[in-house]
Amino acid sequence: MGRKVNKVVTLLGAMLAGTTAVIGAAGTAHAAPATPSKPTKPTAQRCTTNDKLVPSCGVLWGAAAGGFTSAPRDAELKNWEKLSGRTASIFHTYHKGDEAFPTKSEIAMTSDPANPRVLLVNWKVAYGSTWAKVAKGEQDKRIDKFAQRIKSTYGDKKFFLVLNHEPENDVIARKGSGMEAKDFRTMYRHVIQRLDSKGVDNAINVMAYMGNEKWMAQPWWNDLYPGDDVVDWMGLDSYVSAEKGYYHYGQFGDLLDRKPTGGKGLGWYDWATTKHASKPIMIAEWGVYHRIGKPVDKTPGYNSVLPELAKRPNIKALVYFDTKHDDEGNRDISIDSTTKNLAAFRTLAANPIFNVTIA
């Protein structure tokens, strides 16, 4: 794939011109535009994407809709787009094992000239196996079939590829388990290099962390990272609660700044921008939730997004995960749990900072 580390100038583009340091709500210094109070400033010029799908200015807008249901993902996203008032530039889907993808609907959704979208696909390539076995080549046939399918059905169209998002949750920190953090790293490298050797040069690789305090505190957490040469974007899946006193109560900045349990070390955003400064950041899943049947005001969470984006120019993509009930079974992450919540989200979606043209 001939991967090269993107230069900082390419990654930050016009949004970083004349940056200064701004202190966030948690007291953390972040690089920020000289006029952070004007989050729509980047869209004064035409914002387009480069060969790694990094916008020259602005932020890519996307969603995964209909989560944890059997509803067709394309139909759910179209409904969500109407509800939110903006077409998603990123269409997020999920696959595992030998599932054949991109599917017909995924191809159609990302080939619509009237509504340009980019596919963001998560693939659990080791499904039914282990990371160690994949790294040893025991699933090469699966990888090769995917490579052939991409080349025959998707051509040279760019797409985002996440291998086993939130791997922290799947780690078995026992020697020989085949699912240690180091096994994930070698699995990731093997898959990307295998795809590279098969001529798949249109995949933009995203390393999607869970960003949970208890995992960040584990001694193996840093061992998950596959290496800058095979990672194009840093990704984060993280959520906040709108219910005061409930798990992960807070606003948008809180889901970015979570630190390892015990409060030692950098918050996730600062870790990513310090350790992997050349990589753009994608918030690959985010949302504001409350417990099912207990709707509360999510507007503070939605209203906090733009000020944080202004202070954190490395964030180049924002992908909402919308569902009426999550995998825990008791959280509503939908944007329309109340009329007021939907109005606040539509105001966010309408901001011109998300006016990015897919080149």
List pLDDT tens digits, range 223-239. Answer: 999 999 999 999 999 99
The type of residue at 66 is G
Q: How far from chain centre, in Å, is Cα 32?
A: 21
Q: Is residue 1 part of a domain?
A: no
Q: Is residue 62 part of a domain?
A: yes
What integer pLDDT is reported at residue 70 of this predicted model?
Answer: 83
For strands 203-209 and 20-23, give the pairing.
unpaired
Q: Is residue 302 part of a domain?
A: yes
Q: What is the domain extent for residue 255? A: 8-357
pLDDT under 70: residue ranges of the chain: 1-44
**N- to C-terminal Cα separation, the chain:** 20
Q: Looking at residue 98, which CATH number applies to its domain?
A: 3.20.20.80
Which of 163, 165, 147 shows the shortest CA–CA distance to 202? Answer: 147
Query: Per residue in 268-289, is it b (16+ CB within 10 Å) or e — as a string?
Result: bbbbbbeebebbbbbbbbbbbb
Q: Is residue 171 part of a domain?
A: yes
Q: Is residue 82 part of a domain?
A: yes
The type of residue at 233 is W
Return d(Cα 292, Cα 237) in angstroms, integer.
Answer: 21
Q: Is residue 2 part of a domain?
A: no
Q: Is residue 3 part of a domain?
A: no
Three-state secondary structure string covering 301-322: HHHCHHHHHHHCCCEEEEEEEE
What integer pLDDT is reported at residue 84 of this predicted model?
Answer: 98
> How many domains, in total, are found in the chain?
1
What integer pLDDT is reported at residue 29 of this predicted model?
Answer: 43
Please check whether residue 80 is in contact with residue 49, taking contact to mean a CB–CB distance below 8 angstroms: no
Q: Using alpha carbons, list the distances in angstroms from residue 26 to 23, 29, 212, 264.
A: 8, 9, 17, 14
- Contacts of residue 42, Cβ cutoff 8 Å, sequence gap at least 6: 14, 15, 33, 57, 58, 353
Please check whether residue 202 is in contact with residue 150, taking contact to mean a CB–CB distance below 8 angstroms: yes
In order, the DSSP letters of 180-206 are SHHHHHHHHHHHHHHHHHTT---EEEE
Q: Report the chain's C-alpha Rg in angstroms.
A: 19
- Contacts of residue 198, Cβ cutoff 8 Å, sequence gap at least 6: 143, 144, 147, 148, 151
**Digit-coded pLDDT (tens) for 235-255:** 999 999 999 999 999 999 999
Q: Is residue 350 part of a domain?
A: yes
Q: φ and ψ at 205, to 5 degrees?
A: -85, 130
